[in-house]
Amino acid sequence: MSFENQIEAQFTLRAPEFERSARWIADPGLLAAHAALARDVPGGSLLEICCGTGVVGASFRGKFGRLVGADLTPEMLVRARTRLDEVVRASVYELPFPAASYDAAVLREALHLIEFPGRALQEAHRVLRPGGQMIVSHIVPYGRDDALWMRKVFLKKQPLARHFFSADDLADLLRGAGFSDIGVHDHFLEESIQRWVDTPETPQPAREEIYGLYRGAAPELRRERGIRIEPDGAIVDRWRWVLLSGVKKA
């Protein structure tokens, strides 16, 4: 089975409960932070790449005249169709659109599941018009001190992950794909770890290992990340999201 087929199989299983499987997926504040980065193009078009259920693309409603989503997983696209004006099944490496088709594109929390993220961003660059805007967002570590620990946690949660990025890594990927005027914005969001790990791709032994990593986290790491372990055992982590914006040169 190809890697893309593995991704499709995993998200087919996740589709029915996807938006309830973590706070970040449909959090109004995080969605608003994405939309706030975009320049208004009332008669223009936006493409959400790896759109899933279309919840991110839909947050740009009113800023663009047309919202389109592309994703590998038909079960996700069924749901995205209720939010976006058009959806297509497509690989990130071969978007079925002519060059210079869109005024903006957005890609949230997917690059770690793309084998060749630079190629994917180059393809996004191709379908954007000159002067078009690319918005990328991802969960990242706070810095060097928590990066190794966080990498262990996230790779146990998602066995198909191919990459682990810092904010600088993401900015470099955008530049390498041809984007300029890179802007970087932080957004912080508390996440229930039990809710986050309760998905089909994470077997029970891995979940217990993740809980162990949180319970055994050093005090300074807990302070930096705002990790809380409640009296009932619930674990809350304050995740650092980074939202980046780049522009295709005119």
49-81 pLDDT, tens digit each: 999 999 999 999 999 999 999 999 999 999 999
Mean of pLDDT values over 198-210? 96
Average pLDDT across the chain, whole number: 97
CA nearest to 10, candidates 41, 38, 47, 52: 52
- Between the two ends of the chain, the Cα-to-Cα distance in Å is 41
User: Is the predicted pLDDT of residue 1 greater than 90, yes or no?
Assistant: no
Cα separations (Å) of 18 from 11, 27, 55, 199?
A: 8, 13, 11, 9
CA nearest to 184, candidates 165, 196, 197, 170: 170
Residue labelled with tokens 């999201």: 241
Question: What is the dihedral angle through the alpha carbons of 18, 24, 25, 26, rounded to the nearest 10 degrees?
Answer: 120
- Domains of the chain as residue ranges with CATH: 3-141+161-190+239-248 (3.40.50.150)
Q: What is the pLDDT of residues 145-192, one digit of tens each?
A: 899 999 999 999 999 999 999 999 999 999 999 999 999 999 999 999
Q: What is the pLDDT of residue 3?
A: 96
Mean of pLDDT values over 197-218? 97
User: Is the predicted pLDDT of residue 242 greater than 90, yes or no?
Assistant: yes
Question: What is the dihedral angle through the alpha carbons of 48, 50, 55, 61, rounded to the nearest 10 degrees?
Answer: 0
Q: Which residues does 162 contact at the CB level (< 8 Å), separation at least 6?
A: 3, 112, 113, 114, 115
Residue labelled with tokens 């590998």: 72
Q: Which residues does 193 contact at the CB level (< 8 Å), separation at least 6?
A: 210, 211, 214, 234, 235, 236, 237
Helices (H) and strands (E) in the chain, counts: 11, 8
Q: What is the pLDDT of residue 168?
A: 98
- Do the Cβ atoms of 32 and 187 come closer than 8 Å? no
* Position 20, amino acid: R
Strands 64-71 and 41-49, bridge-based pairing: parallel
Distance CA 171, CA 184 (A): 8
Q: What is the pLDDT of residue 58?
A: 98
User: Is the predicted pLDDT of residue 250 greater than 90, yes or no?
Assistant: no
Residue labelled with tokens 């997926």: 25
Mean of pLDDT values over 141-148? 95
